[in-house]
Structure 1
Amino acid sequence: MKFGIDIGHNSPPDTGARGIKFEDQLTSDLGNRIIIKLRDLNHQVIECKPQKSRSITDSLQTRCNIANANKVDLYVSIHFNAFNSLANGTEVFAISSTGRQFGQTVLDEITKLGFFRRGLKNGSHLYVLKKTIMPALLVECCFCDARKDMRIYDPEAMANAIIKGLTGKLPGENEPVIYIPDEEDNPNKNVLRLQRALNRMKFTGQDGKLLVEDGIIDTQTKIAVENFQKVTAIQQTGIVTNITWAAINQILSKRILRRNHAGGVAVRYVQYRLGADNDGIYGPQTEELVKGFQQQNSLAVDGIVGSITWTQLIG
């Protein structure tokens, strides 16, 4: 199924409500989680939010144009409410019968989280529901100015509820568990694996070419090792010590990296690939470069180096 996911607002001058938390931040975080989960379930996703807008009307029209041009099967607009700090709960708007069916199941799943059921409502007054040509719904997840809602709001739980309402299942449900060895514990230290790892990470010899994967330590392989050691702040010897192998395995393990929650070898590598200062600290500059890389590669833009971003970097 092809979903059009509209991350509400986030396109100045089209900005969201402000309360205990900002709607723009809430919708961006939640929307990107939804996009990732839908793709994990092998659905096609079109992100409908414009990068910039001339006006609020332009923002709304662009969202509709993106959905219509891509002929999505279902358009889903993600929002958060605000009113008087006392109103609370979840409401979903739709017009078509199909939109209402999806809206009802989404509402059912969200209210299981403890949010007050405000109901499934007629959305004929809402621009994005009127101007899209496919079934559509707009989800007001909860109130960003209500302490009651913000106290129980959890973005991962909300994303799962919406995914369950849209698709009937969550990523990984009813699938056999397949054990995949953690690369960080990989004991294989042969030369062929070394060359393959260096090629995956885009470390080349003096000639700038990928290494020949022949299991032989030659001059080009040693230079590639030195280049890796330089990036990861290991003494440059060209000799693959246990410290060097530990650094290789740490990168290949694809640990999740995010601002202020990660540091060290893997962060240094990501900084090297993206052209950031190679200090091993996941700060604002690194986060912005990650977002740019994600946008350039049509990934969900969240500034977090997760499995999909890692796959784009090293396969």
Structure 2
Amino acid sequence: MRDLQNKLKRAGYTLVADGVYGPNTENAVRAFQRKYNLTVDGIAGPNTLNKLNAVLTQPTKSTQPAPSKSSISNGSAVVPYPGYVIKRGSKDRANVSRIQRALNISADGNFGPQTESAVKAYQKRKGLAIDGIVGQATWNTLF
């Protein structure tokens, strides 16, 4: 449930990721369904979830910043969002190292307390949700 709520938050809907499918979550699902011409029933079924995942993985002009020195891979391409969150304990050493280098901390590939703290500080500076998790919004701002 929290995963759905966090995805809705990343898609721009205001709600608390409390793990309860209450009226606020249902209203956010309905608003999302209306926006994307889905059946508006307030149920996060397969069509709604597939569309939500597609929306979150599509770069947009408003979320895709111009390439910076830290976002260049092989000298020319923007680093694409991997399609899943990276957080404390994540085993994706390559992307964790990439995040650590972008944050100017020791790049050991382990997402531990130091990396989580650096992510939170970065999120605070950039006006993002401060959760220490690198989701699409934090990734797109970093890269």
Mind listing any 5+ residue stretches in structure 2 that lack a counterpart? Answer: 38-50, 59-65
Aligned to 1:157: 19
Instruction: Tell whether the 8 Å contact from 1:37 to 1:163 is kept in structure 2 after alignment.
Output: no
Instruction: Tell whether the 8 Å contact from 2:70 to 2:102 is kept in structure 1 after alignment.
Output: no
Letter in 2 for 1:313: L
Q: CA–CA distance in 2 between the matches of 1:311 and 1:164?
A: 25
Provide the aligned length of Structure 1 versus Structure 2.
114
Report the alpha carbon displacement of residue 201 of structure 1 after superposing the two structures with TM.
5.2
Aligned to 2:12: 40
- Greater gyration radius: 1
Q: What's the CA shift string for 1:86-112, capped at 9, x where partnerless?
A: xxxxxxxxxxxxxxxxxxxxxxxxxxx
Compare relative contact order (CA 8 Å, sep 6+) and give the higher one, 1 or 2.
Answer: 2
Q: Which of 79, 97, 105 is the aligned partner of 1:276?
A: 105
Q: TM-score, normalised by structure 1?
A: 0.29
Q: CA–CA distance in 1 between the matches of 2:98 and 2:119?
A: 12
Q: Percent identity?
A: 23
Mind listing any 5+ residue stretches in structure 1 that lack a counterpart? Answer: 1-29, 46-77, 79-154, 184-198, 205-209, 211-223, 229-239, 241-247
Aligned to 2:80: 252
Q: Which of 298, 304, 307 is the aligned partner of 2:127?
A: 298
Q: What's the CA shift string for 1:205-259, capped at 9, x where partnerless?
A: xxxxx9xxxxxxxxxxxxx74xx7xxxxxxxxxxx9xxxxxxx78x413331000
Could you say which structure has the higher strand fraction? 1
Report the alpha carbon displacement of residue 279 of structure 1 after superposing the two structures with TM.
0.8
In structure 2, the CA distance between the partners of 1:282 and 1:38, relative to structure 1 (3 Å rule), is closer
Letter in 2 for 1:169: A
Q: What's the CA shift string for 1:122-168, capped at 9, x where partnerless?
A: xxxxxxxxxxxxxxxxxxxxxxxxxxxxxxxxx6632x425236xx2
* Pair 1:172-2:32 in alignment: yes
In structure 2, the CA distance between the partners of 1:290 and 1:173, relative to structure 1 (3 Å rule), is same
Instruction: Tell whether the 8 Å contact from 1:260 to 1:282 is kept in structure 2 after alignment.
Output: yes
In structure 2, the CA distance between the partners of 1:283 and 1:172, relative to structure 1 (3 Å rule), is same
Q: TM-score, normalised by structure 2?
A: 0.58
RMSD: 3.9
Q: CA–CA distance in 2 between the matches of 1:266 and 1:295?
A: 21
